[in-house]
Amino acid sequence: MKRRVVVTGVGLITPLGTGNEKSWKGICEGLPGIRRIEKFDPSVLKTQIAGEVLDFDPIDFMDAKEIRRSDPFIQYAVGATKLALNDAGLEITEDISPNVGTIISSGIGGLDSFQRNVIEMHERGPARVSPFFIPSMIANMASGCVSIFFHAKGPNSCTTTACAASAHAIGDSAKIIERGDADVMIAGGTEAPILPVAIAGFNAMRALSTRNEEPHRASRPFDIDRDGFVMGEGAGVLILEELEFAKKRRARIYAEITGYGMSSDAYHITSPSLDGPVRCMWRALRDAGLSPEDVGYINAHGTSTPQNDVNETRAVKGVFNSHAYKVPLSSTKSMTGHLLGAAGGIEAGFTVLALYNGVIPPTINLENPDPECDLDYVPNEARGIKIKTALSNSFGFGGTNASLAFKRFEG
């Protein structure tokens, strides 16, 4: 008998706002978090829009000395963790800290620190490189700093699996609790990639939307007029607990995580395959003991790129057959943009909130559906439905895939 794992806390920092209330309210109302970039002058770039977090102040979560020494991706991770722990009503005391672990993932890590220090060295020489450059840049430091700041002495790790990173973090964390190596895991992802070099890099791949005159309409998964994804930033963290541990402290339980699937396309560095996502979803269902007909909602990877949206639609049909036309799926990236390594964390958060609140988020900007994308994508308006089970999909460059299965907790 594997130990049961439940979600007791959610911490969201997204382009819709800092905190669960702003992010969830924005998602349910179908508000776009995409706008012209404000953090630097983007006029020389092909893409001049992004999902920026504009209301986050790190001083609300860290002291000034810590802020000066840390990259924004670390600051987002610490902030989202504090929000999640507060939401869970959990204090990490000395007696439980050895059994509290941390996996906070990132696809890129401290890109801001990397860019600034490379420029500094080029312009002023190697003596000007900061001693905090490496500790601010390496991807595992978000998880490390969360562990340090909150005294979590259990397992401490980081997956760097591109856009699947934080979904892998949550799935791996659930397995750690299942096998008894921790009672609590702080799990999710963080990313702070809104920088000229990142925009230029994805532009070179022709992956980003260039709908600069209509930022709010640029992220449009499954729509025939989509022209690429919109980059976002922020963090999403879940507090996972062993069921009896959570019940003993009378925690509010959002949902239970019941299944986790992983697979590799073994196909191409950036283009998706069909069989990888199919096997990934099947493995999550098998791990959860579910049949396809049991699933009531899918939070799609739904990037708003021509290849991904068609491929994911075909993969869902490959798993769910005729039920694919009955199960609603939506892409919250239509509102937040694509948070890269943090995407799976915030989307898992939205999925458990959907189960808990009985509301399925919409896919906004779905005005002219692609004929090859012919499923129920919950277009433009949230839908009030009490669902019992849900999947959250995350697929990354390098052909790495993750699917998480959740169910509504009923005591």
Start-end of H helices in 153-305: 165-178, 196-204, 243-248, 275-288
Give the 3-state secondary structure of residue 262. strand
Query: What 3 state SS string does 386-404 have?
Result: CCCEEEEEEEECCCEEEEE
- What H or E segment, with its residue span, contains residue 195? none
CB atoms within 10 A of CB 205: 10
Active site annotation includes 216: no
Active site annotation includes 163: yes
- Residues 196, 23, 308, 403, CA torsion sign: positive
Say if residues 257 and 295 touch (Cβ distance below 8 Å): no
Distance set, CA 54 to CA 40, 232, 254 (Å): 13, 12, 28
CA distance 265 to 272: 7
Residues 28, 280, 338, 373: which is the catalytic one? 338
CA 281 to chain CA centroid, nearest Å: 17
CA atoms within 13 A on the CB side of 322: 0
Say if residues 355 and 390 touch (Cβ distance below 8 Å): yes
Distance set, CA 170 to CA 1, 85, 91, 190, 341 (Å): 20, 15, 20, 13, 12
CA distance 181 to 114: 35
Residues 28, 163, 280, 373: which is the catalytic one? 163
The closest alpha carbon to 350, from 359, 339, 341, 337, belongs to: 359
Tokens of 23: 């992010």
Active site annotation includes 151: no
CA distance 128 to 63: 24
Tokens of 84: 């999640």
Phi-psi domain of 123 (left: phi exceeds 0; alpha: psi -120 through 50; beta: other): alpha
Written as one letter, the residue type at 308 is N
Residues 145, 168, 280, 301: which is the catalytic one? 301
What amino acid positions are annotated as catalytic residues? 163, 301, 338
